[in-house]
Chain A
Amino acid sequence: MARIDAIKRGLMRRILLTALTLAYALAYSLAPAAFAQQSTRVTEIGKRVNCMCAGCGDSAALCNHPGASFSGPCDVAKSELKKISERVARGDSDDLIIQSFIQEYGTEVVIVPEAKGFNRWIWLMPIVFVIVGFFIVRAVLQSWRRRAVLAHPAGVSADLLARARHEIGPDE
């Protein structure tokens, strides 16, 4: 028994060591990159507006036009990026630049709509789903629990019952 425990401890140590080595390698490979982000502000704003060529459905910064008569950032996307670049050079804020695009192209230009009016529901509904779902799951669990308590009268504890069942049937 003592030998098994020793083997167990040794293996767990090795597993832990392997995990730490893995974490080290990951951290080493990622950390320098974290300090060296090169994405410009123009690219970041370009990712917030759609390419308005009416075909690709990509953002201006990531336009690649599959299936069209060109490939890579199209002229429309390039002209949008150029406008962003000019406004950035002029000192405009990100929001002001986005607003100028909405004025020019309409609300469709923004890659994710602002949380205003009906569009607020796009953000609210997933949260509502999770909250309502959580309460439903909780209610379901509580009702199942109540049934179990009613089904197992005092004298046979749930612990004892669980142990007996565990010993009878294999675990999954």
Chain B
Amino acid sequence: MDIFGSFSLLLALIAAVYAIVAGIIAIRTRNPLLTKSARHAGIAIFLLVTLAVACVEYLFFTNNFSMAYVAEHSNRDLPAFYKFAALWAGQEGSLLFWSWLLSIYAFFALFLNRHKHPELMPYVGVVLACIQLFFLTLNNFVANPFQVLGHAGAGGALTVVSQADGHGLTPLLQYSEMVIHPPMLYLGYTGFSVPFAFAMAALLGRYPGEKWIHITRRWTMVAWGFQTIGVLLGAHWAYAVLGWGGYWAWDPVENASLLPWITATAFLHSVMMQEKRGMMKVWNIWLVFITFMLCILGTTLTRSGAVSSIHAFAQSSIGTWFVSFLALIFVVCALAYWKNKDYLRSDNQLDSLVSRESSFLFNNLVLLAACFAVLWGTLFPVFSEWVQGTKISVGPPFFNRVNVPIALFLLFLTGVGPLLAWRKTSLDGLKRNFAWPLAGGILAGVIAVVFGMRQIYPLICLILSVFVTLTIAAEFWRGARVISARSNVNVISAMGQLTMRNTRRYGGYVVHFGMVLIFIGIAGSAFKLDVQQDMPPGAHMKLGAYDIVSQNFDQVQTPNYQSERATLEVFRNGKSQMILYPERRFFLASQITQTLVGIQSTPLRDIYVVYDGRNPETNRPEVHAYLNPLVKCIWFGGLVVVLGTILALLPSRQPVLVISQATERALAPAGPLPQSIGVVHGQD
């Protein structure tokens, strides 16, 4: 099976080379048969890489410990669920996984558009095949997952050695979310290849019109949605598994996942300027290029070991390959732009400084400032070592201090932007749109101060969150009111109709509301409490309004691990609220200990307890307990963001002629159309 898998990978590489060569010739000769053949080669890559992936999974499920990758990342007692996820546990597998997801995207991009955009698609196929060629080269020659364990025998022949059992999967990955988190993140990373391919294709082929920008936007939204899920699942995994009471540590690999997400967010906003007004073409194309380059940079950071990270399981010298690839992409992008910059020429005009256009420009500035700050903080230890020769570290205080004000300004723009009209907003319009939301925000702030909230950033966050929520509500209300009055339906169903008539716009508002919830959840961390103390059976711990009583410590034995488990009862006002069971598991195959946190979550607060093991000084069990306010808002907000993204991806309903019953009666005799008839446009 390993030979079959290796052969599939090699054939996929040959197919990628063929897709590039045939594609380039097809573009030059405009030969439709060759175009079709190149497309089929692109689709064949998907089938071949899928075969290779199936082979790796087969080797995992059959416990073939003569394979180096299987022996390193699995063992006999590993549950089947995790054997499947072991594919992306190490470098070779995760690079193969990357190739596979990329081939899936390429398959869909080529197949769904096989009868569309005949001028554009050959270029798209070539660009995607070039990216695939790079990853398939790594899969075949640099990090091949089908290497066997063996040694040189007599006469130099390879003797295959099979181990009785494997080393097991790292305990960090033995958590249900870990089966979903990496695929989601990888779907985000690889997904940005498709908009990159369309943008590059449009530039190289000087594709007329703005159609390519609509296609690019939709693919970016898909990748952005997956990246959002991936980032949030990663944060939730860090929260539930790592046991330090937080969800975001500004680890270089976490930062790497955030960078393309930020630039893609900027693109999803600024692209509207191009669609509505034909502006910012150069800026948009570079945002797509930068987003893709940041995906490769993120992988470089993860793989190269240039910056220290907890994701150390994937480090190697492969970083050189990625740095070279990154440099090549940059050169290609710069050359393509330089050669075709006249194609991106646009007539940028602004009727007023107080307009939607201005707000988008500031939105992009703020997002890029956040992106730059994160990138700068992540790479600064490397620069410092080059310049000063001394290693320094840049931790969470830097990222928090720099990014919190930027994020709050962005939250403010989230509220302001939708209230400004395209081209020009009048003073009356400003007053009408801002008065209620602003009043609501300020009132919320006053109430918070009265109740003792004194920390400035959470207070600003609360005011802005209420402000943005009210602006979103007002937008829904204004639109729904018109439909309600015209079609005699109640406001709630009118809101449903309104949303479905312009899914992109109202889906965007739902995403904004999800972001508000995430901001509220993050602001809650400013009020976190934590207590750490020895907790022998019967001992008490005070955590805010709660009392935690240690009831028992017991041991659990399974074939995969041994566990020591604490039983902690939580009381409030003398009444028992819950029992929590934090654990420490010792995984037998990998000989690694891992914590399992006990969490009891409500919308307002989480009680989060970690069993630290025995205190070496007192030999008594030690417990670290946290009271984390509003964390659930983050996860719920993430869900709302994802739902909003799906909504925005749905096609809008066609324009509908809305005629009220009264108007219908008035229309009975022929006559001119009265004012109360309106066409509600559903636009994508």
Contacts and interface: CB of A to CB of B under 8 A. Distances in A.
Given A16-B439, A126-B376, A66 B485 contact: no
Interface in A2-60: 4, 7-8, 11-12, 15-16, 19-20, 22-39, 43, 47-48, 50, 55-59
A111 to B, nearest CB: 4
A14 B352 CA distance: 34
State which size class the interface on A falls in: 35 or more
A144 B349 contact: yes
Contact of B592 (A22, A29, A68, A144): A68
B489 interface: no
Contact of A158 (B351, B388, B436, B469): B351
A58 B308 CA distance: 10
Q: Which of A25, A30, A62, A108 gathers most chain B CB within 10 Å?
A: A30
A39 B530 contact: yes
Given A34-B527, A112-B394, A144-B350, A171 B376 contact: no
Contact of A19 (B380, B440, B454, B520): B440
B466 A119 contact: no
Interface of B: 170-172, 241-246, 249, 251, 272, 276, 279, 308-310, 312-313, 347-353, 356-358, 361-362, 365, 368-369, 372-373, 376-377, 380, 384, 387-388, 390-398, 402, 406, 421-424, 426, 436, 439-440, 443-445, 447-448, 450-455, 458, 462, 466, 469-470, 473-474, 477, 481, 485, 491, 505, 520, 524, 527-531, 544-545, 584, 591-595, 604-605, 610, 612-613, 616, 622, 624, 627, 629-630, 681, 683
Interface of A: 4, 7-8, 11-12, 15-16, 19-20, 22-39, 43, 47-48, 50, 55-59, 62-64, 66-73, 75, 78, 106-108, 110-113, 117-119, 121-123, 125-126, 129-130, 133-134, 137, 140-141, 143-145, 147-148, 151-152, 158-159, 161-162, 165-166, 170-172
Nearest to B252: A57
Nearest to B545: A32
A162 B376 contact: no
Q: Sorted from nearest, which 7 A-B pairs have the closest CB atoms?
A: A23-B444, A111-B395, A144-B350, A31-B452, A27-B451, A33-B527, A148-B349
Contacts of A140: 348, 361
A114 B284 CA distance: 37
A165 B423 contact: yes
B530 A38 contact: yes
A38 B443 CA distance: 30
A117 B616 CA distance: 41
Contacts of A47: 397
A162 B423 contact: yes
A64 to B, nearest CB: 4
Given A67-B312, A134-B365, A12 B349 contact: no
Contacts of B605: 29
A62 B595 CA distance: 14
Given A75-B616, A171-B421, A108 B361 contact: no
Nearest to B351: A158
Contact of A129 (B308, B369, B455): B369
Nearest to A72: B612
Contact of A172 (B272, B394, B440, B527): B272
A43 to B, nearest CB: 8
Contact of A27 (B448, B528, B545): B448
B592 A67 contact: yes
Nearest to A23: B444
Given A15-B473, A129-B372, A66 B444 contact: no
Given A122-B394, A137-B361, A141-B361, A172 B505 contact: yes
30 contacts: A8-B477, A15-B474, A15-B477, A16-B436, A16-B443, A19-B444, A22-B444, A22-B469, A24-B451, A26-B462, A30-B629, A30-B630, A31-B452, A32-B545, A33-B528, A58-B249, A62-B246, A69-B592, A71-B613, A113-B384, A122-B394, A129-B369, A129-B376, A130-B406, A144-B357, A158-B424, A165-B423, A166-B421, A170-B683, A172-B272
